[in-house]
Amino acid sequence: EVLVGAILAGQLLHRSPAFGSRNFTMMIDMDISANKLSGELPASLSKLQILEYLNLSHNTFVGHIPKQLDHMLNLDTIDLSQNNLSGEIPKSLEKLQHILVLDLSFNLLQGEIPS
């Protein structure tokens, strides 16, 4: 069976799902906002190559935005707001041609948002 969407917002999750597992690779929508997820954003997110909607807002993720997100060419929405992400906004996000919403607000990020 293939999971095509997951809405796990506000479930008080403490651990990120295993994004690289086969069950997630065909996922189109993922909302894991408003949980207690922490640590760095996993680079394995990039294995979700057909994902269109990604919401990881309102958690306590730290560190950089993984450059590998540029492999997720179908993304039209990325919401990473309200975390503790830091460092430069990756210029590689320019490769995401379908982006309609990119919310990086309320983090500690630097640099320009890619055009």
**pLDDT band for position 3 (50/70/90)?**
low
Tell me the pTM.
Answer: 0.89
Q: Residue 93: its pLDDT value, please?
A: 92
**pLDDT band for position 61 (50/70/90)?**
very high
Q: Residue 115: its pLDDT value, please?
A: 77
pLDDT in tens, 67-90: 999 999 999 999 999 999 999 999
Other CB atoms within 10 Å distance of the CB of residue 112: 8
Torsion of CA 46, 76, 30, 14, to 10 degrees: 70
Query: Which domains, and CATH codes, for the chain?
Result: 5-110 (3.80.10.10)
- The percent of residues above 70 in pLDDT, for the chain, comes to 92
